[in-house]
Amino acid sequence: MAGPRLVRVQDKGQVTLPAATRRRLGLKKGDLVAVTETAEGVLITPQPALLSEALAGVGDALRDEGITLEELIESGREIRGQILKDKYGIDPDFPARQDLSG
């Protein structure tokens, strides 16, 4: 583990972690980290991408059932269309109104 490195706090309280630290921790743009105050300062720890793990689990379950993502999406469209028709009297197959204003 490397020793302390100085980084500057920016206008909005942002700090840039040194590139070597990001590489060592496997951090990339958009990753989540937890910030914990300690008696010595602040501890920053990488957090697993729970959503990515959950989506991977959904994908595995779909594959196990022999359902493709495209089939699931189409099923959702059909269900939404039926709800539009039953609850609101809207024909989901009717083309949307065109903007004729200009």
In a domain, 93, yes or no: no
* Residue 40 belongs to domain spanning: 19-47
Residue 71 to residue 63: CA distance in whole angstroms: 11
Query: 44-65: per-residue pLDDT in tens?
Result: 998 876 667 777 888 888 889 9
| Average pLDDT, integer, range 31-38 | 91
In a domain, 41, yes or no: yes
Residues 57 and 82 in one domain: yes
Residue type, position 79, single letter: I
CB contact burial 69-93 (16+ within 10 A = b; e otherwise): eeeeeeeeeeeeeeeeeeeeeeeee
In a domain, 5, yes or no: no
Residues 55 and 43 in one domain: no
Contact between residue 69 and residue 86 where contact means Cβ atoms under 8 Å apart: no
Per the confidence metrics, is the pTM higher than 0.85? Answer: no
Name the domain count of the chain. 2
> What integer best gives the mean pLDDT of the chain?
85
In a domain, 77, yes or no: yes
Residue 86 to residue 4: CA distance in whole angstroms: 64
In a domain, 28, yes or no: yes
Q: What's the pLDDT at 69?
A: 82
